[in-house]
Amino acid sequence: MVDNKVITIHEQWHPILGKEIPLIEPYHYVKLSRILSPPKLLAHESGSVGKVLPYIRQKVKMWGADVLRAENIKTLIDEDDELSDEESMIDESQDLKRNQLSRFDCIASLLASAECTVAQDIFRTLSQFPIAFPLVLPELDEAGKFKVMLPSFTGPIIKWETKPGTIIENHLFNDPFQLIVAVRIGNNSSGKSTILNQLMASNTMFSSRSDPRAEYGIPHMISGSIEFTWLTKETCSISLWNDVFENYYKEGTNKIILLANLHVMP
């Protein structure tokens, strides 16, 4: 018999997760009882991340990592439930209560609610796709505490092609790597993450003000967190790859370049 353990959620995260969520243990992760349909959340629904996690977990397990792209997360909200422009003008305070479902809150909650070996399996799957990951994220049951995901992220093989027929492999965080850290200095009209995304293959690689529904507020769990990805042909924009990293990797090194994006706490 398998006990269904739960994580008691700190009140800081109640708006997106509710008061408790299940701990994802190996038994629950490998078990497939039924195929879940994509949820349709209301535009003003609370606890939204907790309600979509079972569906996201199943999609990831079935190699459907695209579910964690910002533009696809948006589709989990019923747009027909949105207020009309006229209704919004009547009560502008509604914006503060809009469903802020975000990619970052979803992937951070998925990894934070998984037992260590399950988090490793999830990351091993997701590492085959060009997305950003939370290297440091908040603890779900304590305020002001953060969790470093390095133990769960160590070991997966990252591959890239330097020239036709030549594949280089790097065992992440076991083999040599270089780390570029991006921090914000001053107050510019364009945010740091928005600028970084212009250099990436996806303009929603890192959480930014340009994400769908970002006009309703930043992700709840983003402050103090660190996102990272690796800089290979799959993650870089065409110009960044051709002008910079293609020549670097042509030297035959397996020393991968990582990019960390720090989201400083206000």
At 183, is the pLDDT very low, low, confident or very high (cuts 50, 70, 90)?
Answer: very high
Query: Residue 150 falls within a domain, yes or no?
Result: yes
At 44, is the pLDDT very low, low, confident or very high (cuts 50, 70, 90)?
Answer: confident
pLDDT at 80 over 70: no
Query: Residue 1 falls within a domain, yes or no?
Result: no
Q: d(Cα 127, Cα 180) in Å, to the nearest integer?
A: 19
Query: Residue 179 falls within a domain, yes or no?
Result: yes
pLDDT at 34 over 80: yes
Three-state DSSP class for residue 146: strand
Query: Residue 10 falls within a domain, yes or no?
Result: yes
At 81, is the pLDDT very low, low, confident or very high (cuts 50, 70, 90)?
Answer: low
At 232, is the pLDDT very low, low, confident or very high (cuts 50, 70, 90)?
Answer: very high
Is the Cβ–Cβ distance between 229 and 197 less than 8 Å? Answer: no
Count of structural domains, the chain: 1
Our measurement of the distance from residue 251's CA atom to the centroid of its chain's CA atoms, rounded to an integer in Å, reads 31
Query: Residue 15 falls within a domain, yes or no?
Result: yes
Q: d(Cα 145, Cα 3) in Å, to the nearest integer?
A: 27
Query: Residue 111 falls within a domain, yes or no?
Result: yes
Q: Where are the alpha helices (DSSP H) in 178-236?
A: 192-197
Q: d(Cα 253, Cα 234) in Å, to the nearest integer?
A: 17
Task: Give residues with Cβ within 8 angstroms of 72, minimum separation 6.
Answer: 66
For 118-176, how does the pLDDT look when each residue is reduced to its tens digit (9 = 90+)?
Answer: 999 999 999 999 999 999 999 999 989 999 999 999 999 999 988 888 899 999 999 99
Query: Which residues make beta-bridge pairs with 168?
Result: 160
Task: Give residues with Cβ within 8 angstroms of 248, minimum separation 6.
Answer: 257
Query: Residue 145 falls within a domain, yes or no?
Result: yes
- Domain extent, residue 103, equals 6-262
Query: Quick check: pTM over 0.85?
Result: yes
